[in-house]
Chain A
Amino acid sequence: MESSNTIIIKGLYKRFPVGKGEFTALSDINLNFAQGEFTGLIGPSGSGKTTLLNILGSLDVPSEGEALVLGNSIGKLTTHEAANLRKVSLGFIFQSYNLLAVHTVYENVEFPLLLLKLSATERHKMVMDALEWVGLTDKIKSKPPQLSGGQCQRVAIARAMVKKPSLVLADEPTANLDAANSHHILKTMETLNRELKTTFVFATHDDKVISYLRRKVYLLDGRIDKVEVIHPNS
């Protein structure tokens, strides 16, 4: 049933110009993600995980084929429409955090909400909730340079989830977290996934993350190698 699919990818290719030639980072990707999925792209470094997440996040466009995200065909959107999609429906967690260094933890998390027309009280509540999920309520006045790598990643996660987007794209969200924190964060994400029907797409090679995924898409050299579905009762 296609209508319940948050993401539909058909015959997608992504080629990058390299020198005089081209490098094919993704070839012939056909994938659907249903709403409320908790999925991950798994593969070695350079297999195209980030490239695919960028396209799903409308930060990049396919060279060929189609990617429909929440009914929007990436690549056919105007920059304005793409910005709107990101603003309203998407949450990003970057491999390298990309926090705003001069803003406090609170301001970093509040940032996506500023673009949505929300009152200050609403914003405050949502920011505090998000910081609660990641266990950073005691650091609201700190700035990213004063935080550990793991704490930065938690801020990035809170920022991605604060507006409760329909789709969260998480690129190696646990790369810098210790085991306890990783599990805590993943459980929080699972809860949000369950309660809000938020779709999660991870890119990872971390076993801790992989153990939470309910569907695993293995990428190898830009192609889908295999797809594993974990049945709830197994």
Chain B
Amino acid sequence: MKLALKLAYRNLMGAGLRTWLNVIVLSFSFVIIIWLKGVMTGWDHQAKTDMTNWEIGGGQYWHSTYDPFDPFTITDSHAPIPDELKKREEAGEIVPMLLVQGAIFPEGRMMPVTIRGVNPSQNILHLPVKELITNDGTIAAIIGSQMAKVSQLKEGDYVTLRWRDANGTFDATDVLICHVFSTNVPSVDLGQIYIPLSTLQEFALLPGEATLITLKNAEESATEYPGWVYKSKEELTRQVDEMIKTKSAGQTVIYAILLLLAMLAIFDTQVLSIFRRQREIGTYVALGYTRQQVVGLFTVEGSMNALLAALLSAAYGIPFLAWQAKAGWTMPIDTSEFGMAIAQTLYPVYSLGLVAGTVAIITITTAIVSYLPSRKIAKMNPTDALRGKLQ
């Protein structure tokens, strides 16, 4: 073993440039595989983080009849905000939201919307509701970029907004689209329009009432209020979690394909080099090497290759991967065209298992693909190996 290590080292160092080319290619596979898988994991995390930031905060109280999948429930889903929670709103710990069914009429077309009333001073959700503050009494509204696209509204446009108040009476007014925000969370964008909470309460004749109350931070044990149902963050993100789970099956396939490609590259170079080196193997045998020693030497040499690649990968890969995790990777294409929740900038997330697993798999594969062909050649008649008979 010691001899094999020594000779493997000599062979690798002696081969110079060829070794380094091999090592560099191998290290690229390490880093690229880890990075890509990291981006994919980061994408999952991003979906969850975005959802938390834009929609659900640390958890929510829902009015007991509210069902986001049934828009008809919205009409009846409102109740006065419990006093205790009102105090917490002043402390900036919660943000209430009133939802009212309505419609907008861009260029004469009618589009059903959910009007969401949010207090412009909130800073729990990423929604840029601060933009809703106007000094001249105009009623300002904000919408998401997908919504803007569908309705063909842009900043500065006026649009007629119609709603039904608590008595079932229709009423309408013109609102100014003061801002179009972009988000990766479709549910806060499509079919939604945001106006100040107090304005909506007034329009709908529902003073002091809300449909949803979003908490800033997750709470260990949330107080129950009659008429309200507490939904923890875990409960609200379950769907995303499930989506991640199905998506990670696909990701595992991609990861496996990438690994396979890396292995093919290794296999190719190892097999080629070993077949090219059959005369060398014949020489080893002529000088008194046993077959096992020859096979051992090549296996050690292959593994050393992978190990060097791992070291090299660490040298430039760790700073690169760390920088990517911090700075994120900005996709070179406009992701808003995708129609799904992909951020323009993804922040890769790496797990220890991913890094260790990738390094282990590639190292072991390299050892195996070094072992198999060298065993075949070591089994050859040494005189044939010396003449380089196997092509």
Contact = CB atoms under 8 A, between A and B. Distances in A.
B291 A54 contact: no
A59 interface: yes
B288 A100 contact: no
Main secondary structure of the interface of B (DSSP, over half): helix
B288 A86 contact: yes
B287 A79 contact: no
A102 interface: yes
Interface in B273-312: 279-280, 282-283, 285-291
Contacts, number: 70
Contact of B283 (A87, A100, A107): A100
Contacts of A159: 287
Q: Which of A59, A60, A87, A92 has the most CB of B within 10 A?
A: A59
Interface in A14-56: 54
Contacts of B287: 86-87, 92, 111-112, 115, 159
A115 B289 contact: yes
Contact of B383 (A60, A88, A90): A60
Nearest to A59: B382
A148 interface: no
Given A59-B383, A79-B291, A98 B286 contact: yes
Contacts of A94: 283, 286, 386
B150 interface: no
Tier of interface size on chain A? 20 to 34
Given A60-B383, A102-B15, A107-B10, A86 B283 contact: no
B330 interface: no
B3 interface: yes
Interface in B170-186: none
Contact of B288 (A54, A84, A102, A104): A84
A12 to B, nearest CB: 16
A83 interface: yes
A160 to B, nearest CB: 9
Contacts of B6: 114
Nearest to B2: A114
Contact of A98 (B10, B283, B290, B291): B283
Contacts of B217: none
B14 interface: yes
19 contacts: A54-B383, A59-B285, A59-B386, A60-B383, A79-B291, A86-B287, A86-B288, A87-B289, A88-B288, A90-B288, A94-B283, A98-B386, A100-B11, A101-B14, A102-B16, A103-B10, A114-B6, A115-B289, A159-B287
